[in-house]
Amino acid sequence: MRYFHVALRIACLALVSALLPSGSARAAQAGWQEEWSKTVEAAKKEGKVVVSIPASADLRKGMEESFGRRFPGIQLELFAARGGEATRRIVDEYKAGVRYFDIHLGGTTSVVLEFLPENMLDPIEPYFVLPEVKDPKNWWAGHMWIDKARKYVYGFQAYTFANVWYNASLLKPEEVLSYDDFLNPKWTGKIGILDPRTPGAGDSTWSYLYMVKGEEFLKKLVAQKMLVDRNQRQLAEALARGKVALTLGITEYTFLPYLQAGLPVKPLPTPREGTYTTGGSGHLTIIKNPPHPNATKVYVNWLLGKEGQEIFSKGLGQGTRRLDVDTKWLKEVGVMAAKDFLTPEQFLARENQSEEKVETVRKPALAISKKLFR
């Protein structure tokens, strides 16, 4: 019986020690907690963090409310603007020695074409503190980098979406099964496109068409006398009113109020040549030597945590790569998060946002658009 008790004790001890973190693990846990506490305290002393975000009032409002509740001593100052406008300003300030921005979030074209040549970014991984952010297992496809050096531009979203929409009273979806069908004379003057000369979904769509169909196709497409606009809402309005039958490069979120109002706008089933995959506006960059380094660290860990990713995903209607954030609801607005539908290989085969793709696909496509749309 005595042996039984001893054996039982040993078994219990073994079980407890197996369940509790090991010594080194405990030390690691204590390490990040201590670092986090110190960082938050230092951030409070810095007072604020300045972040450039995509132009969305919903996103701005959501972030301000949520971050403010979570870290009451740290002011989140947000600058909402179109990607190209924000990056130009950040570059000019950086070159003039004005240290104002800590972080920029947005698409990759402006970042690759304007930030990377200036060598003005900090490596991101040293800013990861919380294990839930650091651990690649929490992310679909692990940590994903846009730049070739794999340390300056972090992509936290991956998704695909219906980027061709049609007016159901003017067009039947079976009339456009391939991108070649855009060239049908029936659609002359009836196609709208978000200006591909400026960064955004229009530029992404145009680049994908260049990638899969080539320059000659683009020339024929421009000959279709497309309605070119820089304002997504105006193009969505043109489709809803039947001024155009098809739009290219308008994000699903813009159509949401039209769908809710029961107007005849619908996403076109993906043409047979497929569509591109993207990280949308979900790319994080940290300006070199940020003025508020600790507050920057706090913000990065909040943004890449569950709460930050939920806010960002809801604010813009784009799909995060974080595995613990629900993205199924995005299907209602025509967005499919990569983690729900694709393998990493499928995603990478069709992306056109990485530094490599910006240089090999987007830059030539941009040059063609500037030539053709004068």
Residues that bind another protein (CB under 8 A): 50, 55-58, 60-61, 64-65, 68, 77-85, 88-89, 91-93, 96, 98, 100, 109-110, 113-114, 116-119, 195, 197-199, 203, 227-234, 236-238, 240-243, 253-254, 257-258, 260-263, 366, 370, 374
Residue 330, H or E segment: none
Q: How far is the CB of 257 from another protein (least distance, A)?
A: 5
For CA atoms 85, 121, 97, 67, give the dihedral sign: positive
Count of alpha carbons within 13 angstroms of residue 354, beta-carbon side? 18
Give the integer Cα–Cα distance in Å for 76 and 187. Answer: 47
Residue 217 CB burial class (10 angstroms; 0-12, 13-18, ≥19): middle
Q: How far is the CB of 192 from another protein (least distance, A)?
A: 9
Instruction: Select 61 or 70, whichever has its Cβ closest to another protein.
Output: 61
Give the integer Cα–Cα distance in Å for 314 and 361. Answer: 30
Q: How far is the CB of 94 from another protein (least distance, A)?
A: 10
Q: What share of the chain is helix, strand, coil (3-state, %, to 5)?
A: 55, 15, 35
Q: How far is the CB of 84 from another protein (least distance, A)?
A: 5
Instruction: Select 331 or 371, whichever has its Cβ closest to another protein.
Output: 371
Give the integer Cα–Cα distance in Å for 263 and 261. Answer: 6
Q: How far is the CB of 263 from another protein (least distance, A)?
A: 7
Instruction: Select 323 or 367, whichever has its Cβ closest to another protein.
Output: 367
Instruction: Select 72 or 117, whichever has its Cβ closest to another protein.
Output: 117
Instruction: Select 122 or 129, whichever has its Cβ closest to another protein.
Output: 122
Instruction: Select 281 or 320, whichever has its Cβ closest to another protein.
Output: 281
Q: Return all residues near 289 (Cβ < 8 A) that are at least 6 apart.
A: 99, 122
Residues 204, 107, 78, 141: what is their CA dihedral angle, to the nearest 10 degrees? Answer: 120
Instruction: Select 58 or 324, whichever has its Cβ closest to another protein.
Output: 58
Instruction: Select 108 or 275, whichever has its Cβ closest to another protein.
Output: 108
Instruction: Select 34 or 58, whichever has its Cβ closest to another protein.
Output: 58
Q: How far is the CB of 42 from another protein (least distance, A)?
A: 22
Q: How far is the CB of 65 from another protein (least distance, A)?
A: 7
- The DSSP output letter for 321 is -
Count Cβ atoms below 10 Å from residue 370 Cβ, excluding itself.
Answer: 11
Give the integer Cα–Cα distance in Å for 155 and 279. Answer: 6
Give the integer Cα–Cα distance in Å for 133 and 129. Answer: 7
Q: Which amino acid is at 273?
A: E
Assigned token pair, 302: 């909040």
Give the integer Cα–Cα distance in Å for 371 and 374. Answer: 6
Q: How far is the CB of 145 from another protein (least distance, A)?
A: 20
Q: How far is the CB of 66 from another protein (least distance, A)?
A: 11
Q: Which amino acid is at 224?
A: Q
